[in-house]
């Protein structure tokens, strides 16, 4: 698939990524920038990121297949269709999408360490990671996006021909600090929500209970003129405004 995509890119754009140093520099800088942003801010925009990833994957796969079957024009049409489908799938199934990305990363790490002999173990680890991520998706989002951002940054540094040891250390540092930053932000948001929920209850409990209002006094008429009298609390008596006398 990667060879097919490379041939399509060379045919469509007329560029050879393996020899064009300017193209490598642009790609490396973009990967570094996107990796840093994703590692530290990925949790806030993860749905948009998943939509973008789904669209890119769908477009690239559709472009490669369409170009291989019917040429560049068919590849563009199939690629656009695949991009729309991939974006929609990753938006409506964002939770499944982030779990699938986590499982894929786990599979790549395990298979990269053990090679082909660890293929079954990599599948098992990927399945376990998928289940855990799906169950604890809010916490997993920060970790997964940090790992993805760190990997993108590491690939970008390698493309920029930075020393391999420095690239790996930078990748690990971004993964660790990015995940810690996002999990801390998640904890702070949860505390703020909990505080907003408890504040009205605490305020109601702290405020003194207001005494009930006194019952209204009964209506009374003046025995002399028959007009309605007014109750005067200070004197605890009724006063007739017509007769100008207390009762």
Q: Looking at the chain, how many residues does it have?
A: 247
Could you give the strand order of the β-sheet that contains 230-232, starting from the edge strand earlier in sequence? Answer: 230-232, 237-240, 245-246
Mean pLDDT of the chain: 77
Give residue-wise pLDDT tens across range 56-107.
Answer: 878 888 888 888 887 878 888 888 898 888 887 776 667 776 777 778 878 8
Q: Buried b / exposed e across 30-59, counting CB within 10 Å, b at 16+?
A: ebbebbbbbbbbbbeebeebbbbbbbebbb
State how many domains the chain has: 2
Is residue 179 domain-shared with residue 68, that is, in the same domain? Answer: yes
Largest Cα separation within the chain, whole Å, is 115
Is residue 185 domain-shared with residue 245, that is, in the same domain? Answer: no
Give residue-wise pLDDT tens across range 34-58.
Answer: 888 888 887 777 677 667 777 887 8
Is residue 111 domain-shared with residue 224, that is, in the same domain? Answer: no
The answer to whether position 43 is within a domain reads yes
Is residue 45 domain-shared with residue 167, that is, in the same domain? Answer: yes
DSSP β-bridge partners for residue 157: none
Evaluate if pTM is beyond 0.75.
Answer: no
Is residue 145 domain-shared with residue 242, that is, in the same domain? Answer: no
Range of the domain at 245: 218-247
Is residue 155 domain-shared with residue 234, that is, in the same domain? Answer: no
Is residue 119 domain-shared with residue 236, that is, in the same domain? Answer: no
Give mean pLDDT, residues 203-216. 60
Out of 169-178, 189-198, 212-221, least confident range: 212-221
Neighbouring CB atoms inside 10 A of 87's CB total 20
So what's the pLDDT on residue 232?
80
Which residues are CB-contacts of 52 (< 8 A; sequence separation ≥ 6)?
87
Give me the CATH number covering residue 239. Answer: 2.20.70
């Amino acid at each position: 698939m990667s060879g097919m995509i490379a041939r399509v890119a060379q045919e469509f754009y007329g560029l050879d990524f393996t020899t064009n140093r300017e193209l490598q520099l642009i790609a490396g800088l973009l990967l570094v920038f996107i990796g840093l942003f994703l590692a530290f801010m990925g949790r806030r925009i993860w749905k948009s990121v998943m939509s973008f990833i789904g669209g890119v994957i769908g477009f690239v796969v559709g472009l490669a297949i369409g170009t291989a079957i019917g040429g560049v024009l068919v590849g563009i049409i199939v690629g656009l269709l695949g991009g729309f489908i991939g974006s929609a799938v990753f938006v409506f199934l964002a939770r499944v999408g982030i779990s699938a990305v986590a499982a894929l990363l786990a599979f790549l790490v395990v298979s990269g360490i053990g090679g082909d002999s660890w293929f079954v173990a990599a599948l098992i680890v990927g399945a376990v990671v998928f289940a855990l991520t799906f169950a604890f998706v809010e916490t997993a989002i920060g970790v997964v996006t940090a790992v993805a951002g760190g990997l993108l940054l590491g690939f970008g540094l390698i493309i920029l021909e930075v020393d391999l040891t420095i690239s790996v250390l930078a990748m690990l540092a971004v993964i660790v600090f990015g995940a810690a930053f996002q999990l801390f932000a998640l904890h702070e948001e949860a505390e703020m929500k909990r505080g907003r929920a408890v504040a009205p209850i605490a305020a109601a409990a702290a405020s003194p209970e207001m005494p009930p209002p006194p019952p209204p006094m009964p209506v009374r008429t003046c025995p002399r003129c028959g007009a309605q009298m007014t109750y005067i609390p200070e004197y605890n008596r009724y006063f007739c405004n017509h007769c100008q006398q207390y009762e």
